[in-house]
């Protein structure tokens, strides 16, 4: 598959993930009386991820996340020369999705960016007031879990056809755990789009939601092959 088509798929896939997940958070999470809450947002992200696994997995691999791309490259599953183009495409998709979400949300006269626009944060901007250290650790560990699940579910020895379910439900689980801590990133592109529109603190704190997920992805890329090789040698 030509790189240009794969980049287009990554851009579109990230667009769907961010519009679906962040859209649920901004538009539906606290909707009067019928709000979907944390559980609903967690499932929105998971369902978007699951859908894209099957929609574009055969085209681009459906990384739709810089941490996943870096983790797969670290684990020997993806060429390093294509990491930067994939990340750029993912960030562009996230920004476009955030722009469309902003236009839609602005149609409600009560909408305000002061609510954070589904941005990720720590300290005073953590949903539960968690410290910088707690949020950093949470994002590293959650991203490690997510990328490890992806590496395992897409292993050539894994049950074929079910990888999307494992990945989508894995992302749902991660959101159920960590939305109160950081609003859940585990994806630098997902964090970048909303932060650029929210501005201020969201942009100032964005560094953590690049550093921690990328670190978690790299760790998973190192650990999974080690375990898989140990399995093969058992």
Domains, the chain, with CATH or none: 3-229 (1.20.1080.10)
Residues in the chain: 234
pLDDT per residue over 135-181, tens digit each?
Answer: 999 999 999 999 999 999 999 988 888 999 999 999 999 999 999 99
Report, as an integer, the average pLDDT of 14-38: 91
∠ CA 92-11-196, rounded to 5°:
25
To the question of pTM greater than 0.75 for the whole model, the response is: yes
pLDDT at 57 > cutoff 80: yes
Contacts 24+ apart (CB under 8 A), 42-45: 42/172, 42/173, 42/175, 42/176, 42/179, 42/184, 43/172, 44/20, 45/17, 45/20, 45/21, 45/171, 45/172, 45/175, 45/184
Which residues, in sequence order, are CB contacts of 3 under 8 Å at separation 6+?
Answer: 82, 85
Contact 64, 17 (CB under 8 A): yes
């Amino acid at each position: 598959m030509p790189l240009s088509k794969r980049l287009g798929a990554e851009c579109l896939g990230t667009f769907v993930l961010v519009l679906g997940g962040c859209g649920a958070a901004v538009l539906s999470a606290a909707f009067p009386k019928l709000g979907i809450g944390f559980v609903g947002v967690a499932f929105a992200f998971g369902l978007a991820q699951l859908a894209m696994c099957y929609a574009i997995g055969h085209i681009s691999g459906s990384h739709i996340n810089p941490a996943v791309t870096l983790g797969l490259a670290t684990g020997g599953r993806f060429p390093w020369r294509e990491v930067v183009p994939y990340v750029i495409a993912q960030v562009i998709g996230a920004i476009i999705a955030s722009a469309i979400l902003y236009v839609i949300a602005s149609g409600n006269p009560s909408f305000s960016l002061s609510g954070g626009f589904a941005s990720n944060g720590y300290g005073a901007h953590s949903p539960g007031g968690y410290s910088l250290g707690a949020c950093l650790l949470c994002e590293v560990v959650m991203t490690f879990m997510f990328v490890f699940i992806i590496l395992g579910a897409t292993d050539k020895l894994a049950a074929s056809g079910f990888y999307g379910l494992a990945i989508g439900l894995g992302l749902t689980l991660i959101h159920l755990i960590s939305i109160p801590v950081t609003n859940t990133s585990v994806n630098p592109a997902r964090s970048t789009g909303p932060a650029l529109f929210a501005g201020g603190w969201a942009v100032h704190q964005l560094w953590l939601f690049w550093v921690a997920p990328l670190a978690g992805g790299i760790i998973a890329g190192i650990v999974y092959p080690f375990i898989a090789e140990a399995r093969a040698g058992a």
